């Protein structure tokens, strides 16, 4: 089956821990701290690959992780950064947060490469914590934790014009006549199981992309058949060509077919029925009167509703030039930019802030508090002012940090350390 949706778990690399060591060389028996910093963890990056047109690589493997950063070393040696993990996807892939369904990134248009999860920062070595009162710090900063997230990948084809309609109404034939695409054509249902794109070259050197969306059936919006997979690809198209079998070769009423398919579009959501739509009655060459009567009935029914109705024969080529001219005129009236989804979810804000803080007691009896939210808060709080310190103290209370310090046995006068900042605890 065509793979256009996958659910995977991605994880960036943890930052390497800072190192604790002291300079020990001949004639320098009591050198200062020289522990190096840890390396940064690898990022998770999604990148468009023009040679890929499906998501099958993500259907059989669930977890993808970047490399962690290495621990810092002696003599101020910096730990090696973890390698980024680049995940190749076809253009048109939308990355969503699995639980909320919110868009993280749309790999379309100008956005061909995007960092989704950032690797953890490497921890500082003990060389950074030497002070006039503590010349031999035995503490180094741990590396920042990795970020992990479950995401849904959805492929939505990028096409200016989408062909919709029941199976076996002649969409593939029309695509082959108007574009450079060569779809499989056969007189049976679901000949097309994959969306097929073709380029329509115009005489003025321009052109547009047309997509054959596999045939829809009643119940498609509820997932019957491959309904959801097919309907998903209509979301990006600017203009719909609604193809119906004007000759009723399978005994169906073309007017009922049009209402049925439009009901499926409306039930699916995302305002698919609001997209400009041209109704195209195909196979008129198979009608006894050349399709005049069926074309009259369809026009009487749908033109008062604002639809334009065209009659063609995909096999003989009847009416294709007129249809092409109409499509070109309609596209000129529509925005030229591709439909790209705006980001709604930033993992840096949601995932990093949800990571827990830690409260540990180091070898010097100091209470060491670490965590992404704490580091972030320290970055924009002026701890030199009384107001800033009280603000940070309230933050620690609201986060439950003060409560945990008490549970760990902290007493007045004990030292609290946070990312190089030290202060005495007072209740």
**Are the beta carbons of 187 and 168 closer than 8 angstroms?**
yes
Nearest to 183 by CA among 207, 211, 157: 211
Nearest to 379 by CA among 367, 368, 390, 388: 388
Which residues lie closer than 8 Å to 11 by C-beta, 6 or more apart?
A: 44, 63, 64, 65, 66, 117, 146, 147, 148, 149
SS3 362: coil
* pLDDT confidence bin for 1, thresholds 50/70/90: very low
Cβ burial, residue 59 (10 Å; 0-12/13-18/19+): middle
Tell me, which fold does domain 161-333 have in CATH? Rossmann fold (3.40.50)
* pLDDT confidence bin for 376, thresholds 50/70/90: low
In this predicted structure, what is the pLDDT of residue 241?
Answer: 93
Per-residue pLDDT reduced to its tens digit, 141-183: 778 888 999 999 988 777 889 888 888 888 888 888 887 655 4
The domain spans of the chain are 1-155+340-355, 161-333, 357-427
d(CA 324, CA 330): 10
Instruction: Kindly state the tokens that stand for 276.
Output: 């400009």
d(CA 95, CA 115): 11
* pLDDT confidence bin for 119, thresholds 50/70/90: very high
Total Cβ atoms within 10 A of residue 375:
16
d(CA 269, CA 234): 11
Which residues lie closer than 8 Å to 280 by C-beta, 6 or more apart?
A: 174, 241, 242, 243, 244, 309, 310, 311, 312, 323
pTM: 0.65
In this predicted structure, what is the pLDDT of residue 387?
Answer: 66
How far, CA to CA in Å, does 11 sit from each of 63, 66, 106, 149?
A: 8, 6, 19, 6
Residues of the chain with pLDDT > 90, as a percent, come to 30
In this predicted structure, what is the pLDDT of residue 415?
Answer: 86
In this predicted structure, what is the pLDDT of residue 38?
Answer: 93
In this predicted structure, what is the pLDDT of residue 2?
Answer: 45
Per-residue pLDDT reduced to its tens digit, 377-386: 666 566 666 6
**Are the beta carbons of 362 and 138 closer than 8 angstroms?**
yes
Distance of CA 16 to the CA centre of its chain: 28
* pLDDT confidence bin for 352, thresholds 50/70/90: low
**Are the beta carbons of 324 and 280 closer than 8 angstroms?**
no
Per-residue pLDDT reduced to its tens digit, 35-53: 899 999 999 999 999 887 7
In this predicted structure, what is the pLDDT of residue 104?
Answer: 93
In this predicted structure, what is the pLDDT of residue 183?
Answer: 43
Angle of helix 386-398 versus helix 372-379 axis, rounded to 10? 160
**Are the beta carbons of 157 and 181 closer than 8 angstroms?**
no
In this predicted structure, what is the pLDDT of residue 382?
Answer: 62
In this predicted structure, what is the pLDDT of residue 182?
Answer: 57
Lowest mean pLDDT among 11-20, 134-143, 366-375, 391-400: 134-143
In this predicted structure, what is the pLDDT of residue 215?
Answer: 58
Which residues lie closer than 8 Å to 284 by C-beta, 6 or more apart?
A: 246, 247, 290, 291, 294, 295, 311, 312, 313, 318, 319
**Are the beta carbons of 331 and 160 closer than 8 angstroms?**
yes
SS3 140: coil
Q: What is the mean pLDDT of residues 280-292?
A: 89
In this predicted structure, what is the pLDDT of residue 242?
Answer: 94
**Are the beta carbons of 344 and 103 closer than 8 angstroms?**
yes
- Radius of gyration from C-alpha coordinates of the chain: 31
CATH of segment(s) 357-427: 3.30.300.350
d(CA 185, CA 164): 16
CATH class of 1-155+340-355: mainly beta
**Are the beta carbons of 110 and 27 closer than 8 angstroms?**
no
């Amino acid at each position: 089956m065509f793979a256009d949706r996958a659910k995977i778990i991605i994880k960036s690399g943890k930052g390497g821990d800072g190192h604790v060591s002291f300079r020990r060389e001949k004639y320098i028996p009591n050198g200062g701290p020289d522990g190096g910093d840890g390396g940064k963890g690898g990022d998770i990056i999604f990148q468009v690959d023009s040679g890929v047109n499906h998501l099958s690589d993500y259907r059989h493997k669930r977890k993808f992780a970047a490399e962690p950063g290495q621990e810092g070393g002696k003599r101020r040696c910096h730990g090696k950064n973890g390698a980024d993990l680049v995940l190749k996807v076809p253009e048109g892939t939308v990355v969503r947060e699995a639980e909320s369904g919110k868009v993280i990134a749309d790999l379309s248009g100008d956005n061909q490469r995007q960092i989704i999860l950032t690797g953890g920062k490497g921890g500082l070595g003990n060389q950074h914590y030497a002070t006039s009162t503590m010349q031999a710090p035995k503490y180094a900063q741990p590396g920042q934790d990795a970020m992990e997230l479950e995401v849904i990948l959805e492929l939505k084809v990028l096409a200016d014009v989408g062909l919709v309609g029941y199976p076996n109404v002649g969409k593939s034939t029309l695509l082959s006549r108007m574009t450079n695409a060569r779809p499989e054509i056969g007189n049976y249902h679901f000949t097309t199981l994959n969306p097929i794109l073709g380029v329509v070259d115009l005489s003025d050197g321009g052109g547009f992309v047309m997509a054959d969306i596999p045939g829809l059936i009643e119940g498609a919006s509820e997932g019957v058949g491959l309904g959801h997979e097919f309907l998903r690809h209509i979301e990006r198209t600017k203009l719909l060509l609604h193809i119906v079998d004007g000759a009723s070769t399978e005994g169906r009423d073309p007017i009922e077919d049009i209402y049925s398919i439009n009901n499926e579009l409306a039930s699916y959501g995302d305002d698919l029925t609001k997209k400009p739509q041209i109704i195209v009655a195909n196979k008129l060459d198979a009608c006894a009167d050349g399709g005049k009567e069926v074309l009259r009935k369809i026009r009487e029914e749908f033109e008062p509703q604002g639809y334009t109705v065209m009659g063609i024969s995909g096999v003989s080529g009847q009416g294709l030039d007129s249809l092409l001219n109409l499509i070109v005129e309609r596209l000129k009236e529509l925005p030229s930019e591709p439909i790209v989804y705006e980001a709604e979810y930033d993992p840096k804000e949601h995932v990093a802030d949800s990571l827990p803080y830690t409260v540990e007691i180091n070898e010097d009896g100091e209470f060491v508090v670490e965590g992404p939210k704490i580091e972030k808060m320290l970055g924009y709080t002026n701890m030199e002012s009384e107001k800033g310190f009280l603000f940070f103290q309230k933050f620690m209370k609201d986060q439950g940090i003060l409560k945990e310090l008490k549970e760990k046995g902290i007493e007045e006068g004990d030292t609290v350390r946070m990312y190089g900042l030290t202060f005495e605890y007072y209740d």
